[in-house]
Amino acid sequence: MKVRVQTLLERADFGEVIHIDAEMAIPEETDDDRVFPEPVRVKVTLSPTGTGILARGEVAGLARQTCARCLQRCDFPVQIPVLIEYRIASQAPRDSDEDVEDWFLVEGEYIDLLEPIRQHLLVALPMKPLCDEDCAGLERVTQDEEATPDPRMQALAELRKKIEEQEKGG
Ligand SMILES: [Zn+2]
């Protein structure tokens, strides 16, 4: 989603801002099972910084992820603040020491909101999402088979407990 910011760049001293309130579709990545099944709501205010543009606001929507326990696909609401810095090319450092640049380039008269917002969303998603805090997981299916505890597993559990106690003691 590109936004024309020419007026902000030209009139940086006049306190001008641009308010964005829009729906944005987040395209799927082929190697990522985290998807956004419907467009997310983007509410940001763009303001000039002198070296570029600052986008500040929030994004809300639904993320579809795989539950870490039961492996079901579930939708999770996500609502996060966003703060994105854009720099005009002449203000961007040439040789950055930073491994990861935390700003984006102003492309001529435009900024692109899609990629930075997609990154904000993905970073905010939990690494191990649960469909429900009490999700019983895959155990629910095999529960009957494991009703009687396996003696080998029990011995292992006791051994682990002993080691833990020893580590605590030392
Ligand atoms: Zn689950």
Q: How far is the CA of 68 from the centre of ligand 1 (A)?
A: 7
Q: Mean pLDDT throughout 122-132?
A: 91
Q: How far is the CA of 66 from the centre of ligand 1 (A)?
A: 8
Contacts of 30 (CB under 8 A, 6+ apart): none
Q: How far is the CA of 143 from the centre of ligand 1 (A)?
A: 15
pLDDT for 98 equals 58
Q: How far is the CA of 65 from the centre of ligand 1 (A)?
A: 10
Q: How far is the CA of 25 from the centre of ligand 1 (A)?
A: 26
Q: Per residue in 56-74, pLDDT tens?
A: 999 999 999 999 999 999 9
Let me know if 90 is exposed, middle or buried by CB neighbors in 10 A (0-12, 13-18, 19+): exposed
Q: How far is the CA of 127 from the centre of ligand 1 (A)?
A: 14
Element (H, E) at 123: helix 114-124
Q: How far is the CA of 134 from the centre of ligand 1 (A)?
A: 8
pLDDT for 154 equals 78
Q: How far is the CA of 146 from the centre of ligand 1 (A)?
A: 19
pLDDT band at 120 (very low <50, low <70, confident <90, very high): very high
Nearest of 116, 112, 113, 118 to residue 103 by alpha carbon = 116
CA distance 31 to 35: 11
Q: Mean pLDDT throughout 9-25?
A: 89
Q: How far is the CA of 67 from the centre of ligand 1 (A)?
A: 5
Q: How far is the CA of 74 from the centre of ligand 1 (A)?
A: 8
Nearest of 13, 17, 14, 15 to residue 3 by alpha carbon = 17
